Structure formats: structure tokens, C-alpha cells
Amino acid sequence: MNKNKILIDLSESAGTSFGKVDFAAQSIPQKVFSSVWAVESEVNNGGFLGYFGNRSAETAPFVAEALDKIGAPNAAAICRRALACAYPGGLPATPAEISEASLDFSEETLAELEGFDAEFLGYPHD
């Protein structure tokens, strides 16, 4: 059994945001999967800057809750801190606004996000 292929196929299935279903329309289990998949794939590929700057931003309001639901409270805490660092005034209302705001991060914010990248990539939970 190729677990990676199964997960990739699931991520591209009709029920997930990467399968083109509106994230808001997903069930809670689908949102959990989509959120965890998005943060894992994006932070591994381009850090939190990539996560906030891509369409994965649609999962940002739910990602910490999703990580808590799967028993990854330390990873959830890292995401909460990254969100607070990136958006100190609160998360913008739409995924497009989240992505757009990421274009204006200061050098200081980018440096702090790199620290969160390293923490997240340290995999505090399986």
C-alpha cells in the first residue's frame, strides 16, 4: 500500500479544496484533512509565506483547530503564533485578502516566519 499515493489521491478528490470544492462547503472532517494537507505541503515547500500567499490561505482560519483535532497541539500553537505574527490586527476576511496582505510583510515579519517554519518542520507531532 502506497500511503503517499492514497493521500495525494484524497487531496485531489472531489471533496477537498484542492479537488476544487469550496472550503467553506466542506464537512468538518474534509476541512480537517484539507487544512492539514495544505499547511504541511505549503510550509514544507515555501514556508508560512508560501502557505499564506497561495490558495491554501483559505484554510488559515481553521488550520490550528484542524491540528488540535488530530492531536497535534504543538503544531497548532506554531500555526497560531505564525498567524498572529503575520496578521497582528487579525486575519483578513477572505483568502484573497490573506494572500494579498502576505505581499506586504516586513523584513522583520518574514524573519519571524522563517523561525516558525523551522519550528514547524521540526515536526513536534507525527
**Residues 16-36 pLDDT 10s:** 555 556 888 888 999 999 999
**Cβ pair 16, 26 in contact under 8 A:** yes
Quote the pTM value.
0.86
CA 126 centroid distance within chain? 16
**Residues 57-112 pLDDT 10s:** 999 999 999 999 999 999 999 999 999 999 999 999 999 999 999 999 999 999 99
Q: Could you give the CA distance from residue 71 to residue 74 in angstroms, rounded to a whole number?
A: 9
Q: Could you give the CA distance from residue 121 to residue 91 in angstroms, rounded to a whole number?
A: 23
**What cell does 111 get?**
524573519
Distances (CA, A) of 48 to 4, 9, 43, 114: 22, 24, 5, 8
